[in-house]
Structures are given as C-alpha cells and as structure tokens.
Chains A and B, each alone.
Chain A
Amino acid sequence: DADVTQTPRNRITKTGKRIMLECSQTKGHDRMYWYRQDPGLGLRLIYYSFDVKDINKGEISDGYSVSRQAQAKFSLSLESAIPNQTALYFCATSGPKGGPQHFGDGTRLSIL
C-alpha cells in the first residue's frame, strides 16, 4: 500500500548494532502498529500507538522501542540487534473507529 511507506526495504547488519526502521503514512490515520513476520508464526504485534502521546506494548516488545514523532510517522528501533530479530517487519495503520489495518510493504531485516 503506497499510502504506508517503510524504509529501508532491506537491511543487513551485525549483532549489537542499533537499527531504526521508519514508517510514514499519508492516510491520515491515528493508529499505527509495528509487526514482525516469521515463517509459520504469522504476524505478531510489537508496539502500537493510538496517537502521538499514546504508545503501548504489544505481544513481543522485548528488545524493541518505538517513537511516534508525528501523526504520520512511527519508527521502530532495535537498540542492540541480535540474530533472532532477523525477520520481516511491517508497519500498519487504521482509523480511529477501527476498521481494516493497512500495511506497508515491509522491511526485510537480517542480523548477522
């Protein structure tokens, strides 16, 4: 979905490095989410944000942090990357009354 843009699309880095994944949206949605996708496990929620001042932990937040810089921007950080954080990461948005979540095209992250 071009309305939800993730950068970078691919990243290879080393254990212990700090990494930031960025997400921006032009849909005007208040709610934003970060998921990771692993084979056989589907997508699992890392963090979500209802608005700029409201950030919540998801199912698997350990080892991650987020920042909601503006309504349209939500970034995910790995403070000290480890190999088991190698995965596909997706950002998603949704409107204030619920409704479908709209996903970006993902960032493929490899940690060596």
Chain B
Amino acid sequence: QQQVKQSPQSLIVQKGGISIINCAYENTAFDYFPWYQQFPGKGPALLIAIRPDVSEKKEGRFTISFNKSAKQFSLHIMDSQPGDSATYFCAAFRGYNAGNMLTFGGGTRLMVKP
C-alpha cells in the first residue's frame, strides 16, 4: 500500500492553463515534501519542496500548497507551457536520521497542449 497517494495519473492542460496535481500522505513522521520533475530518458530532478510548518511556497510559476491537518499537499503550475510536459512525482521525506528516506507518489504524466 502506497504511503503517498498521488492524483491524477495523467493530466492534459492547454497552454496558459493551470495544472494541479494532488498528493495525500498518512505518516505524520514525514517532515519534508519535495516535488520531482522527470523528462523522458532522464532521472527525476528536484523541482520545489516545502516543510510542514509552511502552508504555501512559490517559485516562479510553481506553487506548493500544504494542508497539514488534512495531510495533503498539491502542486500548481501556473501559465502551463508545452515545456512543462513531463512526469511529476510528489514525495515525502523522513528525517535525516532515517537516511533521507524518500517515499514517492505514483506519478502524474502532464501534457500541455500548445
């Protein structure tokens, strides 16, 4: 059973639209929540991350919203561009003493249509 559940599995958005990907977790020991972006033929690369004491973090067109009480977090991509077409993974991290253990969601394949 996945500890981090991600939805939707795939998403098609028109250029200029907003892409929204949602994740939910169960384990309250998670203390850091990164998002990774993966292009075909490449490994995942860190996109943006948030700690649970913050409700929102924005970097350019990418925003993470975090709801600690609901144990949910989401990625918003504003003004989506064809170059944003990729697979996105949310993840949850358990403390440095736990070996930087990352637990990944199942991934969302985003396609942005021109």
Contacts and interface: CB of A to CB of B under 8 A. Distances in A.
B99 A42 contact: no
Contact of B99 (A1, A31, A39, A41): A31
B41 A41 contact: no
Interface stretch (A11-19, A43-51, A63-71, A76-84): A43-51
Interface centre among A1, A4, A103, A105 (most CB of B within 10 A): A103
A103 B41 CA distance: 12
B105 A42 contact: yes
Contacts of A100: 34, 46, 49
Interface centre among A40, A42, A106 (most CB of B within 10 A): A42
B106 interface: yes
A48 B99 contact: yes
Interface centre among A90, A100, A105 (most CB of B within 10 A): A100
A50 to B, nearest CB: 7
Contacts of A43: 44, 89, 102, 104
Interface in A15-71: 31, 39-45, 48, 50, 56
Contacts, number: 55
Interface in B54-91: 89
A104 B43 contact: yes
Nearest to B104: A42
The size class of the interface chain B forms with chain A is 20 to 34
Interface of chain A: mostly helix, strand, loop or mixed: strand
Contacts of B49: 100
Contacts of A40: 9, 106-107
29 contacts: A31-B99, A39-B107, A40-B106, A40-B107, A41-B2, A42-B4, A42-B6, A42-B104, A42-B105, A43-B44, A43-B89, A43-B104, A44-B104, A45-B102, A48-B99, A48-B101, A50-B99, A90-B43, A94-B100, A98-B96, A100-B49, A101-B46, A101-B102, A103-B44, A103-B45, A104-B43, A105-B41, A105-B42, A106-B43
Interface of A: 1, 4, 31, 39-45, 48, 50, 56, 90, 92, 94, 97-101, 103-106
